[in-house]
Amino acid sequence: MIRHGTTTVEGKSGCGLDQTGELKILRVLAALRQRPLDVLATYLGTQVIPLEYSGRADDYLEWVHTQLMPKIRRRRLARFVDACPGPDGLTVDQTRRHLTAARGLGFLLKVHAEQSGHDGTARLAVELGAVSADHLAYADEDDVVRLAASSTIATLLPGAAYQPGADRFPPARALIEAGAAVALATDFIPGGASTHSMQMVAALACSEMRLTPAEAVSAATINGAHALGLADRVGSLEAGKQADLIVLDAPDYREIPYHFGVNLVAMTLKEGEVLYQQGEVKWPAD
């Protein structure tokens, strides 16, 4: 990620499937903070109901709300709680209860919204004041209007549609033209979008979702910072912010989406310190 120009990253749990696995993931993310990136952790432990709670999702939520999430909060292992309703996890009503409980414990909220079909989760994200609604492939006109009138960031993941060969991308143009704040992210997960290059994501955003290069750059930087609640520190070149910078081997920012699949990063700096510098290509001796 550093080699490809990322200086701040959100990492989610969710693949641990039980308390031991989830806490281990969150402890690893905590250990990676500022070593050398800013890593923000999100608890996403309810996307699949564990086998021992099969058919008893409400009992599982009760345990999560009274035992696991308070422990995560006390140990400061996560800044956000995310929820992903689906056939193997929670219903939308259970998702509402879960996120409401998380908000009551002091977590900021994120929502996997309108990911595989339209289920009302974008509206739920706005209603609960989520920091971001992610995916939004099946967002409709009403969702676009609600997001545009809210402070919830619409985080779009074009790689999540591109790699599986989906024929449906999020309605980025409609969101932007309505006035919604749009961010971009990789969705770099097992079995998902296996790229950690935000340059590639920007290229997909321009080619598949019709963002302009300037919109893609803003979505990948300052709007992404807003989606993490860090826009006062990172995401733009302003006095008083961290000197998180990249230097690109390109004469014009519009070449970022033009050179898809090419790493243009010549240097990555975190708080003014060089983390990565492009190496010299060694030519063979004559």
> Residue 48: pLDDT above 90?
no
> Residue 34: pLDDT above 80?
no
| Choice between 264 and 89, residue whose per-residue pLDDT is larger | 264
How large a percentage of the chain has pLDDT more than 90? Answer: 84
pLDDT tens per residue across span 73-113: 999 999 999 999 988 889 999 999 999 999 999 999 999 99
Q: How far is residue 256's CA from residue 242's CA, in Å, rounded to a whole number?
A: 23
Instruction: Find all residues with CB under 8 Å of 185, minimum gap 6, and list them.
Output: 10, 134, 155, 156, 157, 201, 224, 227
Give the pLDDT of residue 119: 94
Give the pLDDT of residue 133: 98
Span of 67-71, 80-84, 163-167, 169-173 with lowest mean pLDDT: 163-167
Span of 87-91, 132-136, 253-257, 269-273 with lowest mean pLDDT: 87-91
Structure tokens at 206: 């321009």
How large a percentage of the chain has pLDDT more than 70? Answer: 100
Give the pLDDT of residue 110: 98
Q: How confident is the model at residue 71 (pLDDT cuts 50, 70, 90)?
A: very high
CA angle (45, 51, 52) in 5-degree steps: 100
265-270 and 132-135 strand pairing: unpaired
Judge if pTM exceeds 0.75.
yes
Q: Which domains does the chain have, with CATH numbers?
A: 8-237 (3.20.20.140)
Taking a C-beta distance cutoff of 8 angstroms, is the pair 200, 260 a contact? yes
Q: How confident is the model at residue 47 (pLDDT cuts 50, 70, 90)?
A: confident
Strand 132-135's sheet: what is its strand order? 8-12, 38-43, 80-83, 108-113, 132-135, 153-156, 182-184
- Residue among 19, 14, 72 nearest 48 (CA): 14
